[in-house]
Amino acid sequence: MRPFDYRRAGDVDEAIALMGTSPTARYLGGGTNLVDHMRLGLETPDLLVDVSRLPLADIEDLPDGGLRIGAAVRNSDLAADRRVRERYPALSRALLAGASGQLRNLATTGGNLLQRTRCPYFQDVTTPCNKREPGSGCSAIEGHSRNHAILGASDACVAVHPSDMAVGLLALDAVVRVHGPGGERTITIDDLHRLPGEHPERDTVLEPGELITAVDLPPTPFARRSTYRKVRERASFAFALVSVAAAVDLHEGRIADVRIACGGIAHKPWRARRAEEMLVSEVPDEALFERAARAELDEARALRDNGFKIPLLRHTMVATLRDLTLETS
Amino acid sequence: MEADITLVVDGERRSLTVDTRTSLLDALRDHLGVTSPKKGCDHGQCGACTVLLDGRRATTCLTFAVAQDGAEVITAVGLVTDGELHPVQEAFCENDAFQCGFCTPGQVCSVVGMLDELRAGHPSHVTADLTAEIGTDPAIEDDEIRERMSGNLCRCGAYGNILAAVRQVTSS
């Protein structure tokens, strides 16, 4: 590992100022992804700015009835928070489906959003990878692609975003609060992560030096009827093959409103807007869910090894919607 | 680059100088001679390096020692008080919950942390009702124990007896 300097920031402004002193500096949260990447040689920062002890570890009620989650809140604390469990169960479920107890105790909200793909070629510095080394090529497109994208991929990159939490947040319409050299701004969770296009090296729209300080959840009352369903190779401590987070507003036997987000299938958490549009104002029914899922997957494209994800995601979407509507209405 | 840090390890205050690249695990093992936490994968996947870090179970391979300056670390050795084994350690012995023993210190620390999480009412991935009171039922189900312990691998496959050891602790 390359030598690096370490500074613990006292407040957000100091963190941003420290970050501005070096083009290769990185913010350090829980470290569960970054430390591994430094060990693997993927990341070679000359300065780590530790933001894990900034006063951003609270979960606060917002005046409008929503919640503000500090960027340094641990994944374990967020999953266990009584308000999240009652008002935003999809988020609690998504967090609990990720990593292990030990890692959730270290990992932070901001860091979870900014974790990078587990594409094995990205993590292996001896293989070409456009995300790690722009212009070097993609080893996965014609390589082992079982875990790769079926929607939104490009000729440059077929990696998937690994976060469960981000999929839960996407179905809850979360808003990310960011501080940077130019001040504060907000980004919807759907806009935070990018599709790869010609620039797979950029996972997000964050500018250099910008720091996630909080994630806001709007006061969506029907988020109480939300959940997260994850399908993986083993029962625990594995990344998603596919996953679905959904929230449904049922009114007089019809779907008044619905949010669906999918994980494990694209370079970013995937909002299933086409499926959502087909479901609104309809009477919940398994055949309807099937049609909506098929429509969402209309443009799905399989690589050599991941064709199974298309029916798997369809079934998972149907099952998730069924759980939220038919068995509880 | 070097840094002077202080750790409280198993009740003893220790000051040391570390290269910033040193993981907490390497600081414990190579600098302080505290070899109870083990280096298995060094990637956070096996759990052999688990300790209680400021009271919570955590892998020590994925955090830099310099970032834990001032922290309290309790290893499996530190769970022993006045020569008496911790109830979790007793249960591991009585249930033959290990074979080679390499993963055991991490398993033991993980169980202790996991039981604290249970007492604090934390749900898990397999908890059916997120709004229910967790941890009030002393005999938690095997599925809950397995799920909550999935961050600790045992290559000997002693899981059946590890499960029995945890069950003994939770039901006593």
Residue ranges, CATH 3.10.20.30, chain B: 2-75
Give start-end residues of each CATH 1.10.150.120 domain in chain B: 87-171
Report how many helices (DSSP H) and strands (DSSP E) chain A contains, helices first. 12, 12
Cβ distance A6 to B1 less than 8 Å, yes or no, reads yes
Q: CB neighbours (10 Å) of residue B83?
A: 5
Q: Domain segments of chain A: what residues?
A: 5-45, 225-325
Q: Which amino acid makes up residue B8?
A: V
User: Which DSSP letter does residue A196 get?
Assistant: -
Paired with A5 in beta bridges are A47
- pLDDT tens-digit map of A35-72: 999 999 999 999 999 999 999 999 999 999 999 999 99
Q: How far is A5 from chain B (nearest CA, A)?
A: 6
ipTM higher than threshold 0.85: yes
Single-letter amino acid code for the residue at A39:
R
What is the DSSP code (8-state) at residue A280?
T
CB-count exposure of residue B17 (10 Å: 0-12, 13-18, 19+)? exposed
A243-273 pLDDT, tens per residue? 999 999 999 999 999 999 999 999 999 999 9
Q: CA dist B18 to A88, A157, B21, B72, Å?
A: 43, 39, 8, 17
Window 73-102 of A, Cβ < 8 Å to B: 76, 79-80, 85-86, 89, 92-93, 96-97, 99-102
Q: What is the pLDDT of residues B26-84, one digit of tens each?
A: 999 999 999 999 999 999 999 999 999 999 999 999 999 999 999 999 999 999 999 99
Count, residues in chain B = 172
- Identity of the residue in B20, B58, B114 whose CB atom sits nearest the CB atom of A4: B20
For B2-75, CATH gives: 3.10.20.30
Give the CATH superfamily of B87-171.
[2Fe-2S]-binding domain (1.10.150.120)
Q: Is domain A225-325 in CATH 3.40.50.2300, yes or no? A: no
Mean per-residue pLDDT, A13-33: 97
For chain B, the C-alpha Rg in angstroms (whole number) is: 16
Handedness of CA A160, A165, A167, A173 (dihedral sign): negative
**Contact of A314 with A224, CB cutoff 8 Å:** no
| Inter-chain touch B44–A32, beta carbons under 8 Å | yes
How far is B108 from B85, CA to CA, in rounded Å? 11
Q: State chain A's maximal CA–CA distance in angstroms.
A: 63
CA distance A278 to B31: 61
- The pLDDT assigned to B172 comes to 80
Give how far B156 is from chain A: nearest CA, Å. 19
Q: How far is B164 from chain A (nearest CA, A)?
A: 19
Dihedral Cα B36, B37, B38, B43, nearest 10 deg? 180
Q: Are strands B2-9 and B72-74 parallel, antiparallel or unpaired?
A: parallel
pLDDT tens for A65-107 read 999 999 999 999 999 999 999 999 999 999 999 999 999 999 9
pLDDT exceeds 90 at position A327: no
Q: Tell me the pLDDT tens digit for each residue of B110-141.
A: 999 999 999 999 999 999 999 988 765 656 78
> Do residues A98 and A264 lie in contact, with contact meaning Cβ atoms separated by under 8 Å?
no
